[in-house]
Chain A
Amino acid sequence: MKIDTMRRAIGLVAVVLPMTWMAGTLAAQMRAANAQAFGVSVNTPTVNQTSPYAVLPTGGALAEDQGQTVTVANFVTAQDAFAIVTGDADPTYGSNAVSSATLGAVSLLNGLITTDGVVAIATSTLGDGLVASDAEGSSLSNLIVNGTAVSDPAPNTRIDLPGVGYVVLNEQSATGDGVTTSGITVNMIHVVLQQPILGVLGQVTGYQTVGNIIVGSATSSVN
Chain B
Amino acid sequence: MFKLRNLAMLTAPVAIALTAWSCERQSNAVAPAIGTPLAHFFQFQCTPFKMTGGGRIDFPPGTAEKNPPASHEYETFGAHVMDQNGDCVADQGALEWVDHRPEFRVNGSPLNLHATAITFAEQATDTDCKDGAAHWGGKLRVQNTGQEDLDFEVWDCDNGEPGVGHDGFAISVPAIDYAVMCPDPALPPAEPTCTLTGGNRQFHPTH
Contacts and interface: CB of A to CB of B under 8 A. Distances in A.
A141 B198 contact: no
B157 to A, nearest CB: 14
Contacts of B199: 98, 100, 121, 123, 136-137
A24 to B, nearest CB: 19
A138 to B, nearest CB: 7
A82 B54 contact: no
Nearest to B201: A96
Contact of A86 (B52, B98, B131, B160): B52
B161 A136 contact: no
Contact of A121 (B56, B114, B131): B56
Interface stretch (B34-42, B74-82, B147-155): B74-82
A137 B161 contact: no
Nearest to B165: A136
Interface in A122-174: 123, 125, 127-128, 130, 132, 134, 136-142, 152
Contacts of B200: 96, 98, 123, 125
A119 B100 CA distance: 10
A128 B131 contact: yes
B162 interface: yes
B55 A80 contact: no
B5 to A, nearest CB: 29
Interface in A21-62: 60-62
A3 B4 CA distance: 41
Interface residues of A, number: 41
B74 A119 contact: yes
Question: Could you tell me the dominant secondary structure of chain A's interface residues?
Answer: strand
Interface in B97-127: 98, 100, 108-110, 112, 114
Interface stretch (B14-22, B65-73, B170-178): B65-73
A102 B129 CA distance: 28
Interface string A62-85: 101010100000000000101011
A97 to B, nearest CB: 8
Contact of A137 (B92, B110, B164): B164
Nearest to B110: A80
A98 B204 contact: no
Contacts of B79: 62, 86
B197 interface: yes
B61 interface: no
Interface in B153-207: 160-164, 196-200, 202, 204-205
Given A86-B53, A121-B198, 10 more contacts: A64-B114, A66-B143, A86-B80, A88-B80, A93-B202, A98-B53, A117-B100, A119-B198, A136-B197, A136-B199
8 cross-chain pairs, A with B, having the tightest CB-CB distances, nearest first: A137-B198, A93-B204, A141-B69, A96-B202, A137-B56, A62-B94, A84-B78, A86-B78
